[in-house]
């Protein structure tokens, strides 16, 4: 199916509403970044999402949009809670609260260079990763899990895994409110007990990076960043626990569609009204899984701190921790009225503008750090939220896949990729050759083009560009 696009202005395309769409689609992109050019079905998914009950303004797609489960990855959809608006697990994603944490090291790349080998060896030996496997913090049982699911990163800090200042630099201070562990199933809890503090696999990683360009000195300084500085970027989520929560609630909602009179073009959009038992149950379970993901990143950051202390005698200050797979109840102005919305961001990053009340005080003038990981061979970006973002304060979350994992495996060999990266001065500590090949830089869109489009579309603006020095791959 060919989706007609109207170029409203550079970096912004509209898909006109036609039945059964309730709102138009809006795709932020350049011609090169449009998924039609890359042969995936993401634009059909943008259209499908536009049919959801209660959706307002538009079904949005970020410049890194690509095909996903039901909703596109890089999609943003807000539904009106008080007008029959729905919540859909597919609009959050299987990896609930998957997100990025950036830490700024008290060392620059030149003095770190002679110590990099040892640092990477320690990280490679101590960061749990890969399918299954264990985590850094084995919980005592379901009772302790319940506390972690409510407390998130703060619960980890209370138990000595980090410092209180970390929470100042976490979205929602490290815990999404409304977590209800009673709707996290037994199997989800079991899967999660031994995975707190682990990367997982796929596109997850821990990278040592360096700032190679600063676009805005003042904002970078407020974020604690300067040219040449070493950073650590962590990308991971809620592991088997979040996956199980998503699957469990998709099944329930799929069975309740008829009862709520919801008709969908794709069963993967399974949903329920926010104000319904299945809707509320999922939101409570999703918040709990989100808090698991946030605690997970807190534990991994602590492991990175230990490695830096040992190998480099340097500390790591948290710049920010932000999720890009969530649904949050937020207040936004729509058609001149303040409305309570359920904002689904799936592969899309919250991007609060300067002055937003949810920002920590010392970032009020700078805006929220928007963390945009590239690939292991290319740059990553630190951006900041801007005023006038009509996609409910959302921005891109990464480069966005263009090759399927299968295509990547046909084109790339893991050992060869490792050699290529090492020859470019990037140290690699893989978890599997196959996993490495699937995540080859060529499998992704051009991150610099994605960042330019994100800025051009008025979603966020660049603050600093980071380049990889070493990657610990999930």
Q: Which residues bind DNA (CB under 7 A)?
A: 69, 94-95, 98, 131-132, 187, 190-191, 195, 200-204, 236-237, 239-240, 243-244, 439, 474
Nearer Cβ to DNA, position 51 or 244? 244
Nearer Cβ to DNA, position 222 or 239? 239
For residue 255, the minimal CB distance to DNA (Å) is: 15
What whole-number distance in Å separates Cα of residue 224 and Cα of residue 204? Answer: 24
Nearer Cβ to DNA, position 10 or 132? 132
Catalytic choice (183, 249, 397, 406):
397
For residue 131, the minimal CB distance to DNA (Å) is: 4
What whole-number distance in Å separates Cα of residue 333 and Cα of residue 421? Answer: 47
For residue 50, the minimal CB distance to DNA (Å) is: 24
Q: Are 354 and 387 a contacting pair, CB within 8 Å?
A: yes
Catalytic residue list contains 204: no
Q: Are 421 and 207 a contacting pair, CB within 8 Å?
A: no
Nearer Cβ to DNA, position 361 or 406? 406
Nearer Cβ to DNA, position 190 or 317? 190
Dihedral over alpha carbons 67, 68, 74, 79 (to 10 degrees) = 120
Nearer Cβ to DNA, position 78 or 303? 303
For residue 95, the minimal CB distance to DNA (Å) is: 4
Nearer Cβ to DNA, position 186 or 263? 186
For residue 237, the minimal CB distance to DNA (Å) is: 6
For residue 183, the minimal CB distance to DNA (Å) is: 18
* Residues involved in catalysis: 397
């Amino acid at each position: 199916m060919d989706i007609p696009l109207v170029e409203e202005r550079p970096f912004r395309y509209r898909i006109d509403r036609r039945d059964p769409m309730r709102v138009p689609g809006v795709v932020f992109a350049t011609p090169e970044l449009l998924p039609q050019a890359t042969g995936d079905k993401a634009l059909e998914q943008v259209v499908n999402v536009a049919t959801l009950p209660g959706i307002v303004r538009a079904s949005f797609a970020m410049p890194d949009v690509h095909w996903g489960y039901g909703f596109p990855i890089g999609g943003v959809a807000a539904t009106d809670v008080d007008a029959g608006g729905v919540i859909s697990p597919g609009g959050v994603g299987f990896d609930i609260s998957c997100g990025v944490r950036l830490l700024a090291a008290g060392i620059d790349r030149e003095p770190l260079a002679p110590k990099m080998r040892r640092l990477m060896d320690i990280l490679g030996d101590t960061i749990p990763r890969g399918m299954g496997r264990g985590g850094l913090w084995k919980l005592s049982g379901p009772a302790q899990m319940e506390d972690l699911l409510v407390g998130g990163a703060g619960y980890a800090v209370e138990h000595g895994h980090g410092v209180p200042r970390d929470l100042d630099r976490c979205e929602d201070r490290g815990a999404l409110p409304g977590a209800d562990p009673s709707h996290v199933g037994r199997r989800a809890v079991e899967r999660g007990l031994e995975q707190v503090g682990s990367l997982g696999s796929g596109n997850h990683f821990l990278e040592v990076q360096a700032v190679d360009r600063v676009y805005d000195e003042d904002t970078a300084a407020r974020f604690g960043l300067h040219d040449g500085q070493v950073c650590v970027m962590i990308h991971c989520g809620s592991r088997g626990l979040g996956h199980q929560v998503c699957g469990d609630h998709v099944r329930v909602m799929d069975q309740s569609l008829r009862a709520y009179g919801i008709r969908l073009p794709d069963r993967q959009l399974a949903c329920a009204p926010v104000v319904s038992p299945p809707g509320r149950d999922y939101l409570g379970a999703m918040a709990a899984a989100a808090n698991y993901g946030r605690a997970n990143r807190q534990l991994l950051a602590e492991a990175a701190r230990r490695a830096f202390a040992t190998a480099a005698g340097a500390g790591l200050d948290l710049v920010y921790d932000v999720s890009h797979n969530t649904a949050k109840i937020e207040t936004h102005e729509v058609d001149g009225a303040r409305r309570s919305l359920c904002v689904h961001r799936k592969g899309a990053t919250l991007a609060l503008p300067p002055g937003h009340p949810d920002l920590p005080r010392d970032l009020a003038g700078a805006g929220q750090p928007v963390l945009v990981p590239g690939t292991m061979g290319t740059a990553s970006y630190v951006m900041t939220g801007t005023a006038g973002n009509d996609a409910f304060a959302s921005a891109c979350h990464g480069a966005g896949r263009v090759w399927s994992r299968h295509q990547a495996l046909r084109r790339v060999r893991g050992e060869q990729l490792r050699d290529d990266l090492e020859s470019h001065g990037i140290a690699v500590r893989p978890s599997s050759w196959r996993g490495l090949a699937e995540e080859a830089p060529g499998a992704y869109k051009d991150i610099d083009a994605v960042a330019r489009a994100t800025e051009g579309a008025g979603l966020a603006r660049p603050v600093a560009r980071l380049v990889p020095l070493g990657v610990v791959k999930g």
